[in-house]
Amino acid sequence: MRVIVPASEISWPLRCAACLGTATTTATTSCQISTGVPLPGIVVYKKREAAVAYPVCSRHRLSANLFGLLSRRSLFNLGLGLICTLCAVAFVFLLLADSNNSDTRESLPILFVPAAAYWAIFFIARRLTPVKLCDIRPSGATFFFSNPEYGRAFRAQNQRAESA
């Protein structure tokens, strides 16, 4: 569930964003904000990071922070994803190109396993991150909630929030 709320008016339900239990601690979600400054002939981009703490129970604190790191958009994750995608492409190419060579057959799992593991971890982490800060602008902050019930409670607690 995606919710947009004015950034200055964020109010969190005092329940765990993952299991709706009693919140005893917080986890952090963050995103990079790029702003462009037009200069004659070029545009200079400035990147900043915005972070927001949200309530979770002690049981979900570590997993929420870990899954948030694994699923965030960063240069490291982009590079790792690109390498794993190239491994998957090489796997398919070698599988189709030389299916009779036993040496090639033995090396194929070396290409396939890291690619499959990376993408599986990435998509599982995206699904299991309780709260994801997607974007933040002067007009409002956009959050994605993996638990729709918590998302509805958040929207209800923030009167000016809207579903996206």
Mapped onto helix, strand or coil, the DSSP state of residue 6 is: coil
pLDDT band at 14 (very low <50, low <70, confident <90, very high): very high
Domain spans, the chain: 2-163
**Residue 9 DSSP class:** G
pLDDT average, residue stretch 117-146 = 88
Helix or strand run (H / E) with residue 154: helix 148-157
Residue 58: both structure tokens together: 């002690």
pLDDT band at 102 (very low <50, low <70, confident <90, very high): low
Digit-coded pLDDT (tens) for 34-55: 777 767 777 777 777 888 999 9
